[in-house]
Amino acid sequence: MTRKIRKCRSVLFMPASNPRAMAKARGLACDAVILDMEDAVAPEVKAAARDAAVSAAGEGFGDRLCAVRINALDTPWGREDAAVLAAAPGVDAVVVPKVASAADLMAVRGILGADGPPVWAMIETCGAILRLAEIVAAGAGLELLIAGTNDLAKDMRCRPGEARDPLVPALVQVVIAARSAGLVALDGVCNAIGDEPRLAAECAQGAMLGFDGKTLIHPAQIAAAHAAFGPSEAELAWARGVVAAFAAPDAAGKGAIRLGGAMVERLHLAEAERLLAMAGD
């Protein structure tokens, strides 16, 4: 059983080779940061970026979760990345790129140790999509799946376009796999910095598909993620109404009741309670 982590509507990637950017993240409204030692860092500065990430994590990010993305274990840096993070203060999770099988997770867990940080797995290859059931059943401290949409599109050789139509079946599988194992699911990044309508549409699509939040590449994307993945005032009003209705004396022992012209069941009560918990009600 994984721990219950805080909400992850907005999860911002920050290059670990840029101390100034990581320091800036402490003043942003994102729910979590991922200090990236993989794609955002050139090979010649991998070791320096590792040191910078460990230092930044140790300083803390306030009430934001702090995860660190390592390099893949089959690179010259991956195993040392994991070994250093095993007992690094302030590291809430280790993000593992290009997870393709349960064996990949077990290998990382073997380096992190039983008491090391939880793992967030990036699902970004065709092989990973085909092995999702195996991956989420692996245990290994896995608590979250990230859809790596850029690499997945490359691996599929598809042309996602603004609507991401070719990726939707795979995205749905990521959500289903996460839900089956009680994990958090994050949508992939939107590359179109400055294109607010496209970002809003992508966030809305991710929320519609069932993701808990979205990975981001720029602070300007945080507000759109919160608007899409945080419960709206209308949703909160509905949730409070459902909770109040089931708490009424005449609802005792009933599995379904009438509320505002509609039938609501105990499953709706569970969803209402989840929404209120997200909002801190």
What pLDDT is stored for residue 212 in this prediction? Answer: 96
The total of structural domains in the chain comes to: 2
Task: Answer yes or no: do 138 and 209 share one domain.
Answer: yes
- Find all residues with CB under 8 Å of 38, minimum gap 6, and list them: 69, 70, 71, 72, 97
Please provide the average confidence, as pLDDT, over all residues in the chain: 94
Q: In the predicted model, what is the mean pLDDT of residues 63-89?
A: 97
Q: How far apart are CA 107 and CA 114, in angstroms?
A: 12
Question: What confidence tens digit (pLDDT) does each residue in 105-129 have?
Answer: 999 999 999 999 999 999 999 999 9
Q: Is residue 120 part of a domain?
A: yes
Question: What confidence tens digit (pLDDT) does each residue in 183-209 have?
Answer: 999 999 999 999 999 999 999 999 999
Task: Answer yes or no: do 140 and 48 share one domain.
Answer: yes
Question: What confidence tens digit (pLDDT) does each residue in 167-180 have?
Answer: 999 999 999 999 99
pLDDT surpassing 70 at residue 281: no
What pLDDT is stored for residue 235 in this prediction? Answer: 84
Q: Pick the residue with more confidence: 217 or 270? A: 217
Q: Is residue 189 part of a domain?
A: yes
Q: In the predicted model, what is the mean pLDDT of residues 265-274?
A: 89
Point out the domain boundary residue: 210, 229, 248.
229
Question: What confidence tens digit (pLDDT) does each residue in 225-263 have?
Answer: 999 998 878 888 888 988 999 999 988 888 999 988 889
Residue-range definition of the domain harbouring residue 264: 233-279
Q: How far apart are CA 13 and CA 41, in angstroms?
A: 12
Q: Is residue 3 part of a domain?
A: no
Of the given ranges (41-45, 215-219, 249-253), which has the lowest mean pLDDT?
249-253
pLDDT surpassing 60 at residue 2: no
Residue 33: its H or E element: strand 32-36
Q: Is residue 260 part of a domain?
A: yes
Structure tokens at 193: 């910095």
Task: Answer yes or no: do 112 and 132 share one domain.
Answer: yes
Write the DSSP assignment of 91-149 as a string of letters: --EEEETT--SHHHHHHHHHHH-TTS--EEEEE-SHHHHHTHHHHHTS-TTEEEEEE-H
Point out the domain boundary residue: 214, 229, 244.
229
What pLDDT is stored for residue 100 in this prediction? Answer: 96
Q: In the predicted model, what is the mean pLDDT of residues 85-97?
A: 97
Task: Answer yes or no: do 200 and 257 share one domain.
Answer: no
Q: How far apart are CA 153 and CA 260, in angstroms?
A: 44
Residue 276: name the closest of 4, 1, 7, 5 by CA: 7
Spell 254-270 as b/e; 16+ CB within 10 A means b: eeebebeeeebeeebbe
Task: Answer yes or no: do 129 and 25 share one domain.
Answer: yes
Q: In the predicted model, what is the mean pLDDT of residues 18-23?
A: 93
Q: How far apart are CA 118 and CA 64, in angstroms?
A: 16
pTM exceeds cut of 0.75: yes
What pLDDT is stored for residue 3 in this prediction? Answer: 56
Q: Is residue 53 part of a domain?
A: yes
Task: Answer yes or no: do 115 and 253 share one domain.
Answer: no
Do the bridges between strand 10-15 and strand 32-36 make them parallel or antiparallel, or are there none, so unpaired? parallel
Point out the domain boundary residue: 196, 211, 229.
229
| Residue 173 contacts residue 129 (beta carbons within 8 Å) | yes
Name the residue with tokens 């090979």.
43
Residue 13: name the closest of 31, 35, 41, 28 by CA: 35
Q: In the predicted model, what is the mean pLDDT of residues 85-110?
A: 97
Task: Answer yes or no: do 237 and 225 share one domain.
Answer: no
Task: Answer yes or no: do 133 and 41 share one domain.
Answer: yes
Q: Is residue 4 part of a domain?
A: no
Task: Answer yes or no: do 225 and 255 share one domain.
Answer: no
Secondary structure class of 264 (helix, strand, coil):
strand
β-sheet bridge partners, residue 185: 145
Task: Answer yes or no: do 215 and 238 share one domain.
Answer: no
CA distances from 71 to 48, 74, 105, 139 (A): 14, 8, 13, 21
Q: Is residue 149 part of a domain?
A: yes
pLDDT surpassing 70 at residue 30: yes
Task: Answer yes or no: do 145 and 269 share one domain.
Answer: no
What pLDDT is stored for residue 280 in this prediction? Answer: 67
Q: Is residue 105 part of a domain?
A: yes
Task: Answer yes or no: do 180 and 261 share one domain.
Answer: no
CATH number at residue 106: 3.20.20.60
pLDDT surpassing 50 at residue 1: no
